[in-house]
Amino acid sequence: MAFNAPEPVAELDGGPVGSPNPQSPYPPAHVSSWSSDPIPVASERQAIARRPVPPANLALAQQQYAHDPVSRHDSSSSRSSEHAGIPRLDYQLYSPPLFELSPDGITISTRTSSNLVENATALAAFLRAQASVPPKPQIHVKASRPTKTDFDIKLNLMSLLVPEDRRMRTNYIRCVGEGELAFRGSHQPGLMPAVGDGGLEEWCRLFVADPAEPKSFVLTRTVAHLDTMFIEGQLRSLISSTGYKGNLSITFPTTHARVVVRSADKVHKVVTSFKTMFKPKSKYDVAQAIWPFATAPMGTEGRQFTVQSEESWFREWRDPIKYAIVTKRHGWVTNEDKLEVLMEGKGKGVQPVDWDME
């Protein structure tokens, strides 16, 4: 089975830390560790925000793409969605054949022997295709007291990563560089091997040539430069204005964030006590699909946004969120809520709620 990327995806190969890669149009890496955690905790979010975002050098990216027979595709056969109101993406890529989505919605993976484990060219093409669609970042706000949950709402932020004009997309692939701890074909993080300018194709070649069984290759979709701390602060202030005094949890989960290609287990699992025997002996966690919210962290001079700023987004959604809170919503806050605010004024001028009333 052949997999062809529906969009050109630029690639940034990690070179020596702090040293520019002469073959890359993008800034050098300035991180010393490699993390593929799709839901970073607060202490890790700043590290993700420091990862470099490439300039929108679309002409160069398209030129490189045109000379890549693996990733090139016929634009007339694109399967990108044309449905109004949702990002224009090839949504079939989220559920490729032989892959299953984990119960938490974070990872798609396969344990079936396939061409991807045996053919480096096919694996690289598949991973580039997977890198051409973003993860699904969300906001989850839950308010509760000992005896009840007062409201439990979610918002989808994926549209903030995908501009309407495909030519303005700045997503790219970044491979681990020298000096960065990562799973490079072992059961624990290390600094070797290094592939220099070999990039994704060379890592795929090493994976396919690795005789270890079982083995796995991981691609992580990552959101860059979204200031979740700013959004959280605005939400807490908004909720406080309703008079709410209960326990409040605000998290930023990201689903559809990991793609894992595994070789099939060749030993039958008999009892659960032997689970450790079947953990991948050879793990390659060396590639990230970076989807920038902005070109730099909040407060950086000249910062530009893929779609809109955090402040602009919150101004648009403040009243729909507030209306969902005071009506004790359990579910998603969507564009329909925004329309009701614009057309009917819902959420405007809402008074503090008596939360003690059942």
49-83 tens-digit pLDDT: 334 444 444 344 334 433 333 333 333 334 555 66
DSSP string, 206-232: HHHH---SSEEEEEEEEEES--HHHHH
| Strands in the chain per DSSP E | 10-13, 100-101, 107-110, 136-145, 148-156, 172-175, 183-186, 215-224, 247-251, 254-255, 258-262, 282-292, 330-332
Q: φ, ψ for residue 124 (rounded to 5)?
A: -65, -40
Calculate the dihedral angle through the C-alpha atoms of 208, 211, 212, 216, rounding to the nearest 10 degrees. 10
Tens-level pLDDT at each residue, the chain (358 residues): 444 444 445 565 553 333 333 333 333 333 334 554 433 333 333 333 334 444 444 344 334 433 333 333 333 334 555 666 789 999 999 999 889 999 999 999 987 667 899 999 999 999 999 999 999 999 999 999 988 999 999 999 999 999 988 889 999 999 998 888 889 888 888 888 888 888 999 999 999 999 988 899 999 999 999 999 999 999 999 999 999 999 999 999 999 999 999 987 655 444 444 544 555 579 999 999 999 999 999 999 999 999 999 999 999 999 999 999 999 999 999 999 999 999 998 877 777 777 775 5
The whole-angstrom separation of Cα 294 and Cα 271 is 48
Neighbour-count burial of 137, counting CB atoms closer than 10 A to its CB (0-12 exposed, 13-18 middle, 19+ buried): buried
| SS3 of residue 331 by DSSP | strand
The whole-angstrom separation of Cα 163 and Cα 157 is 12
Question: Which amino acid is located at 358 in the chain?
Answer: E
What pLDDT score was predicted for residue 347? 73
Question: Rounded to two decimals, what is the model's pTM?
Answer: 0.77
What pLDDT score was predicted for residue 12? 58
What pLDDT score was predicted for residue 265? 64
Question: DSSP secondary-structure letter at 246?
Answer: S
Question: Which amino acid is located at 293 in the chain?
Answer: F
What pLDDT score was predicted for residue 248? 96
Between the alpha carbon of residue 235 and those of residues 23, 278, 315, 320, 327, the distances in Å are 43, 44, 11, 12, 16
Q: Spell out the domain ranges in the chain.
A: 10-71+89-344
Between the alpha carbon of residue 178 and those of residues 16, 31, 175, 235, the distances in Å are 5, 10, 10, 40
What pLDDT score was predicted for residue 30? 34
DSSP string, 46-90: HHHHTS------HHHHHHHHHT-TTT---GGG------TTS----
Question: DSSP secondary-structure letter at 182?
Answer: B
* Contact present, 79 and 92 (Cβ < 8 Å): yes
Preceding peptide of 96 cis, ω within 30°: no
The whole-angstrom separation of Cα 214 and Cα 205 is 16
Question: DSSP secondary-structure letter at 190?
Answer: B
C-beta neighbour count of 117 within 10 angstroms: 23
* Contact present, 4 and 125 (Cβ < 8 Å): yes
